[in-house]
Amino acid sequence: MLYALIAANVVMFGVELARGANLVAPGPQVIIELGGSYPPLTLHGEWWRLGSSMFLHFGIIHLAMNMLCLYQVRAVEPVFGHVGFLVIYLLAGLGGGVASLIASSGNVVAAGASGAVFGAYGAFGAKLVLHRAQFEPDGWQRTMRRLTSFLAINAVIGFTAPGISISAHLGGFVVGVALGAALLAGAGAPQARTRRALGLALAGLALTAVGVLTIKADRDMTPVLREFDTVEHTALTSWRAVVERDKAGQLTDAEHIAFIDRELLAPHRKLRDELLATTDVPERLRPLFAAMSELVAARLAAWDALEAALAEHDATRRAALMEAFKRASAEVAELVNANNAEVDALKNK
């Protein structure tokens, strides 16, 4: 079962690469498309993402580290059997995913087998504690020191390195300890252990469903942010082309006014209305949305003024407005960068 799980993770990473993902640092969009956990989707009906995200990774290093740690704890499978090991792996991964959703401070993309891997270590820890008498004292101490060191090192990395979900690690570990203890309790016959593992799987799935249904998710602001980027990019690209035509004397004032009405004012008025209608903005994004609303209002005012200057054939006023647009474009670039930072936010597990 261990090798089948490793193979499944490797195959899914191959699928990521086939979909155009970067070998070292895939973008969040391809992870979302393949089933990464993203709160606005996971918590609004696409609960299956908690399972699929366990087999996706943010780059070759992320995959290699998780699979190496999983291989190092291969002694767990003989203890709990193939079915028991699979149940521990999957339920710990789900538990880590739920813990990550609870602790998440924003809409971030999560993927990785860390929760499941930590669950395997947790189950091994339960074995060491509950069946200590089965080990030689020196061997038990060495093994416990190694397990403690592994957990300590990963705790330090999780709390200090950016992009790592320590909550997923802790959640997976706790679930693994609980499952390991439950599977070790009572009769140890393989048939009894398998039945108990299947019963725990059903209970774990039910608890996962309860967790997903009770966590409140922020509204997904990505579509609005992308709409802003699209409108700004399209408008400014068209605007630069028209300015060049105007400089070359290929555009009358009437044509210029018609272009502003059709290509600039109309889409920005629609964008303004959409921003005003978006009332349930997460608190962390309210400054960004306020800045976008102010900038769109400034755009509309500037283009209205430019239309008036064109209608009055006022060349001096028109030149001043052109300079104002150049300064505004720098502000737009900063705002677009802020949008991209939000849209591309991610968190590895």
Model pTM score: 0.66
Mean pLDDT calculated for residue range 138-160:
78
User: What does the pLDDT read at residue 28?
Assistant: 82
Long-range contacts of 48-51 (CB under 8 A, 24+ apart): 50/93, 50/94, 50/97, 50/98, 50/208, 50/212, 51/90, 51/93, 51/94
Please return the burial class of 216, using the count of CB atoms within 10 Å of its CB with bins 0-12, 13-18 and 19+.
exposed
Catalytic site residue from 53, 57, 104, 169: 169
Q: Where is average pLDDT lowest: 214-218, 273-277, 321-325?
A: 321-325
Q: Where is average pLDDT lowest: 75-84, 114-123, 292-301?
A: 292-301
- Is residue 82 flagged as an active site residue? no
**What residue spans define the domains of the chain?**
2-218, 222-343
Residue 340, pLDDT > 80, answer no
Summarize pLDDT for 30-39 with one digit per residue, the tens.
888 888 888 8
Residue 36 makes CB contacts below 8 A (sequence gap 6+) with 28, 49, 52, 53, 56, 109, 110, 111
**How far is C-alpha 260 from the geometric centre of its chain's CA atoms?**
38
Catalytic site residue from 114, 165, 256, 268: 114
Question: pLDDT band at 88, cuts 50/70/90?
Answer: very high
| Percent of the chain's residues with pLDDT above 90 | 8
User: What does the pLDDT read at residue 349?
Assistant: 45
Q: Cα separation of 11 and 17, whole Å?
A: 10
User: What does the pLDDT read at residue 26?
Assistant: 84
Residue 336, pLDDT > 60, answer no
The SS3 call for residue 104 is: coil
Domain 2-218, CATH homologous superfamily name and number: Rhomboid-like (1.20.1540.10)
Give the highest mean pLDDT range of 30-44, 54-68, 180-194: 54-68
Q: Cα separation of 50 and 8, whole Å?
A: 16
- Is residue 131 flagged as an active site residue? no
Q: Cα separation of 154 and 169, whole Å?
A: 9
